[in-house]
Amino acid sequence: MEYISIMKRIKLNNTIVLILSVCIVLYLTACGEAKVPDTQVLEETEDLVVVGFSQVGAESDWRNANTQSMKDTFTRENGYELIFSDAQQKQSNQITTIRTFIQREVDYIVLAPVTEDGWDTVLSEAKEADIPVIVVDRQVNVSDDSLFDCWVGSNFRLEGEKVGEWLHRYFVQNEIDEAGVNIVNIKGTLGASSQIGRSGGLSISARKYNWNLLAEAEGEYTQARAREVMTNLLNKYDNINVVYCENDNEAFGVIEAIESAGLKIGPDIADGQIMIVSFDGVSEQAIELAKEGKISCIAECNPLHGPRVRKIIESLEKGVRPEKFEYVDESIYSSIDSIREIQVDEKAYPITILK
């Protein structure tokens, strides 16, 4: 009798559980709130293309715009999971990050390298793991170029030569003796492709037109450092005509240093003004300063690489090999409307006049 009583209670409990389960399902279905099983959520996550992005840092307006372009592009809505890492200007951090990406078996590695050298070992590890590597912005100097699948970015040497030709045209138009022009170069992060290219472009023009490259100092692409080094240069030299800033944030710091010293900024170097030229043209502040004449010329450096990298990944997903090097078309900005075009290697480049 006791056994029969226990079995009756079990059957009753099972019936209650079944009724409750049916009620819950009907309620959730009616409300449209039925939860997706955990297995399906896992499957949806596995369908995403996982991209690991190692960024240099956040040293400039250009860098922040570049990061945002990547984040806006590689979203879950677009079919991607982005793993983002800020290296804080340290290559060692990037190497550690890439090894973490390899351990996590990401589908693609996107690298914006701090400097060109020192990548052979870790990129070899990525190749052994069969993970494609896409390099953006600055380039890498490796013994085997199969260690990365492609690179996308700017022609930094060409940028420098464009600014050099713009300066030459300005000096000629204003009958300025180029042999008497004194230029200081506020370099970017030493060893970065952008620094190497832009410094190289200036050197080419200085030799070609007999300019006096008075001094060079590393500004690290930051406003604070550029202000510091420019202050030191102004204390050392009283005959600076042109300051060649290798990005806009450096130009901001240089402007602060010159104005703090009570000196005049502008293109009229014959009247004692100090001319500033720059690179990037990303922020509204840079464009406004160019309109005011405080920055006489800006060579554009386009930071919006997200869609370009996505296009490369889509090609690789289809088994199509992209071009090894993809250069971005870029403009030149100035509010000085007397120069409408410059030429580099017999190719014409129009100037975008700011008003």
Could you report the per-residue pLDDT of 241-269, keeping only the tens digit for each? Answer: 999 999 999 999 999 999 999 999 999 99
- Comparison of pLDDT for 183 and 30, the residue scoring more: 183
3-state secondary structure of 183: strand
From the number of C-beta atoms within 10 Å of its C-beta (0-12, 13-18, 19+), residue 161 rates as buried
> Taking 90 as the threshold, does the pLDDT of residue 189 lie above it?
yes
The CB density around residue 307, as the number of other CB atoms within 10 Å, is 12
Average pLDDT over residues 66-78: 98
| Dist. CA 349–CA 336, nearest whole Å | 15
Sheet holding 242-245, edge to edge: 212-218, 182-187, 242-245, 275-280, 297-300, 332-334, 352-353
pLDDT score of 32 more than 60 = no
Element (H, E) at 84: strand 80-86
Buried b (16+ CB within 10 A) or exposed e, 268-288: ebeeebbbbbbbbbbbeebbe
Q: What spatial distance separates the first Cα and last Cα of the chain, rounded to whole Å?
A: 100
**Tokens 């970015």, located at residue:** 153
Q: Does position 281 have pLDDT exceeding 60, yes or no? A: yes
Whole-number pLDDT of residue 13: 43
Q: What residues have CB less than 8 Å from 27, skipping those under 6 apart?
A: none
Identity of residue 194: S
Band of pLDDT at residue 30, cut at 50, 70 and 90: very low
Supply the pLDDT for residue 343.
Answer: 96
Average pLDDT for 148-172:
97
Residue 257: which residues within 8 A CB-CB, separation 6 or more? 226, 227, 228, 230, 231, 234
Domain over 156-302+331-353 is classified CATH 3.10.129.10: no
Same-fold call for 42-153+303-327 versus 156-302+331-353: yes
Mean of the pLDDT values across residues 327-331?
A: 94
Tell me what pLDDT residue 10 has: 34
Which of helix, strand or coil describes residue 343? strand
pLDDT above 90: percentage of residues in the chain:
86
Domain spans, the chain: 42-153+303-327, 156-302+331-353
The highest-level CATH class for domain 42-153+303-327 is: alpha beta
In the DSSP assignment, the letter for residue 216 is E
Please say if the pLDDT value at position 280 is more than 90.
yes
Query: What is the predicted pLDDT for the residue at 1?
Result: 35
CA distance 217 to 222: 13
336, 317 in Cβ contact below 8 A? no
Judging by DSSP bridges, how do beta strands 332-334 and 352-353 pair with one another?
parallel
Cα–Cα distance, 268 to 293 (Å, whole number): 10
How confident is the model over 80-109, as a mean pLDDT?
97
pLDDT at 31: 37
193: which residues sit within 8 A by CB, 6+ positions away?
113, 116, 137, 138, 139, 153, 156
Provide the β-strand partners of residue 152: 136, 326
pLDDT at 45: 53
* Residue written as token pair 């480049």: 349
Range 278-293 average pLDDT: 96
Query: Does the predicted TM-score (pTM) go above 0.85?
Result: no
- The pLDDT of residue 208 is 97
Average pLDDT over all residues of the chain: 89
What is the C-alpha separation between 126 and 284, in angstroms, rounded?
39
